[in-house]
Every structure is written in C-alpha cells, then in structure tokens.
C-alpha cells in the first residue's frame, strides 16, 4: 500500500490545457498515474495527450463514472492562484474527496474557505503551494520529480514515508534516502503556506495506518505548530511508528521570512528549539544536520528488522 495516491486512483486535472497543466499531465501519465479527464472552462471536446477535456468537474465526474466505473478520486488543480478557490470548491461540490492544490500565492482567506468547504463535505486537500505526492513505482499527483524518467531514477519504492514542508527538499530527502538504500512508500510535500489542507500530523496518521510504511521521515521548518502537534500524537501513542526529523531554519531571525509563507516565527512561537525539544521528548530522532538524515533513518529502519 501507500497513502493518498496509487496507480488505481482516478485522477483529473483542472487547468489541463494551460502551460503547467500540460507539463504536469505529461509527467503524471508517463509515471503511471491514471489521469481520466481534464477540465478547462470553454475547452470541452479537446484532448490533452489523449485525456478528454471537459468544461466542468461534474462533466468529468460523469465521464469517469461511465468509462472508469467509479468516482473521480483526486483532482489536481493547476489553475492560476486567484482561480484556485473556485476550482477547488467546484471539485468538492462535485463529490471529489481529495484535492491537490499546486499553485503558489493562493490568498490565505481563500485557503480557509476551501478548508471550510472541505470540512463540510468530508473532503481533504494537499497544499496549497505543493509540489504534490508520489508513491514510488506507482503513481504521482502534482509535479514532484518534474519528468517521469527523473522520478523513476530518483525515488525508490520502500517502507519509509516522507513528509516535507519544502518542495525541493521533499525530492532531496527521498533521493538521498534512496542513495543510502532506503526506499519510500509515499513522499508528501504538504505545501509551504501557513494554512494547509493536510498538515504534518494528518499525514503522519495516514502513514500510521498504512501497513507498508514502517517509519516516518519529516523535513520540518520553523513556524506554526505542526511539528509540536505531531509530537503530541506520539505522546498520546496515536503515532507509534518511528519518526526521524530534521527542522530547517535554525539560523532564521524572528519576523523575517525566507520564501515559505509558513516558515516564520511569530510572537516567539514555532521556534527551532521548541520543535526539536517537543519531538525529541516525544521519542523522535531529530538530526542536527540534513546530511545526517539518511544514516539516522538507516539506523532506525535497521533496528526494526
């Protein structure tokens, strides 16, 4: 198994005819993702790389039920940031239960409205500002890996789940783990924003319930309370699989932002020291240097055998 995405999930792409939509659909199809339909208002009847395009998500949903014998499982949203809210709500209201919101710069009040809508309909989402999710050897949603042949070369299937707050570092983490002989069940970039659909603890609980995942590797960052919340789940024994973590941004000053909107210390909360302490006390292995992550993970995984 794996979490969120595998080769059997029916995936649609909203914004499939755009520059990003076409590029990411090429990756997803090439890697084995079952992309069943795409949506772009006004482009019904076209096709992108053989994937039929519809005006609306309900039309794509109807097509999927008729041709693929089931619902759309996941929608990957690749529309400009200001249109993400409308696209996401359309998908949720059409019965799509998992969304992947790739665009950067989605306004935070839009993200909160999407979250409210998702809660009301029992849906969930990854992002915004996510590179996506990949289950090595199975399927990918979003743009992680960039090209199918790169994704195949970089990520090895295995038993470690990766959760990252940084897009580039989710690829790096999994790549360096792979070089150390450690494969991954699923790699999830949760997104760099401050309001996210799936936070580290949510994904950790999914890995906890995934029989294939034996250990969890976290690339955390300063800011917010996600790492502390994961530590709390570990204390409560709701996450019992071993956790290995690196927390970035040790040198960052309070109140200064380095790219990720979520990576900012506000009012003394979300500090590097606070996160390291919470996770360590909860029993996680927290490495000081990113370069130590593969070896620390190898030790933890080795001890399980």
Positions marked catalytic: 260
Contact indicator for 15, 39 with CB cutoff of 8 Å: yes
Find the angle CA(194)-CA(208)-CA(274) to the nearest 5 degrees. 45
Each residue 31-70 as x (binds another protein by CB under 8 A) or -, in order, gives ----------------------------------------
Least distance to another protein from the beta carbon of 215, Å?
21
Q: Tell me if residue 217 falls in helix, strand or coil.
A: strand
Which of 16, 262, 239, 4 has its CA nearest to residue 125? 4
Q: Which of 28, 34, 158, 175 binds another protein (CB under 8 A)?
A: 175
Contact between 48 and 110 under an 8 Å Cβ cutoff? The reply is no
The answer to whether residue 164 forms part of the interface with another protein (CB under 8 A) is yes
* Residue in 252, 282, 285, 296 binding another protein, rule: CB under 8 A: 252
User: According to the binding rule CB under 8 A, does residue 219 interact with another protein?
Assistant: yes
**Residue 254 or residue 281: which is nearer to another protein going by CB?**
254
Q: Is 253 an interacting residue with respect to another protein (CB under 8 A)? A: yes
Which of 141, 169, 217, 276 lies at the binding interface for another protein (CB under 8 A)?
Answer: 169
Q: Which stretch binds another protein (CB under 8 A): 8-16, 51-59, 60-68, 223-231?
A: 223-231
- Each residue 95-114 as x (binds another protein by CB under 8 A) or -, in order, gives ---------xxxxxxxxxx-
H helices of 180-291, where? Answer: 200-208, 226-235, 272-281
Count residues near another protein (CB under 8 A): 68
> Is 94:177 a contact under the CB 8 Å cutoff?
no
Q: Is residue 143 a contact residue for another protein (CB under 8 A)?
A: yes
237: tokens are: 């024994």
Tell me the CA distances in angstroms from 305 to 124, 160, 207, 298, one per residue in order. Answer: 34, 13, 18, 11
- Which range of residues in 6-14, 15-23, 54-62, 64-72 is near another protein by CB under 8 A? 15-23
Q: Does 83 bind another protein (CB under 8 A)?
A: no
- DSSP, residue by residue, 72-136: --EEEE-S-GGGHHHHHHHHHHTT--EEEE--S---HHHHHHHHHHHHHHT-EEE-SS--EEEET
Give the integer Cα–Cα distance in Å for 209 and 238. Answer: 10
The structure tokens listed for 219 are 């690339």
What does the binding site for another protein look like in residue numbers (CB under 8 A)? 19-20, 23, 80-82, 104-113, 115-116, 131, 143-147, 150, 154, 164-169, 171-172, 175, 179, 192, 194-197, 199, 219, 221, 224-226, 229, 248-253, 255-264, 267-268, 290-291
């Amino acid at each position: 198994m794996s979490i969120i995405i595998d080769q059997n999930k029916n995936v649609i792409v909203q914004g499939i005819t755009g520059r990003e939509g076409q590029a990411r659909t090429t990756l997803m199809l090439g890697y084995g993702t079952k992309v069943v339909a795409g949506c772009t208002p006004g482009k019904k009847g076209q096709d992108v790389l053989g994937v039929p395009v519809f005006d609306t998500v309900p039309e794509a949903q109807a097509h999927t039920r008729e041709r693929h014998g089931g619902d759309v499982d996941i929608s990957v949203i690749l529309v400009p940031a200001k249109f993400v809210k409308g696209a996401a709500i359309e998908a949720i209201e059409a019965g799509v239960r998992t969304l992947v919101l790739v665009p950067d710069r989605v306004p935070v009040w839009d993200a909160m409205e999407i979250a409210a809508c998702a809660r009301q309909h029992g849906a969930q989402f990854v992002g915004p500002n996510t590179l996506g999710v990949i289950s090595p050897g199975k399927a990918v949603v979003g743009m992680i890996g960039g090209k199918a042949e790169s994704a195949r070369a970089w990520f090895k299937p295995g038993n470690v789940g990766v959760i990252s707050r940084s897009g580039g570092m989710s690829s790096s983490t999994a790549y360096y783990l792979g070089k150390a002989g450690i494969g991954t069940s699923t790699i999830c970039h949760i997104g760099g924003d401050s309001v996210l659909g799936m936070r580290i603890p949510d994904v950790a609980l999914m890995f906890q319930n995934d029989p294939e995942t034996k250990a969890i590797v976290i690339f955390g960052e300063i800011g917010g309370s996600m790492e502390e919340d994961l530590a709390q789940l570990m204390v409560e024994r709701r996450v019992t699989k071993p956790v290995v973590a690196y927390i970035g941004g040790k040198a960052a000053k309070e109140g200064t932002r380095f790219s990720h909107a979520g990576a900012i210390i506000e009012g003394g909360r979300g500090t590097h020291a606070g996160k390291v302490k919470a996770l360590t006390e909860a029993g996680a292995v927290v490495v000081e240097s990113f370069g130590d992550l593969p070896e620390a993970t190898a030790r933890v995984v080795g001890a399980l055998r």
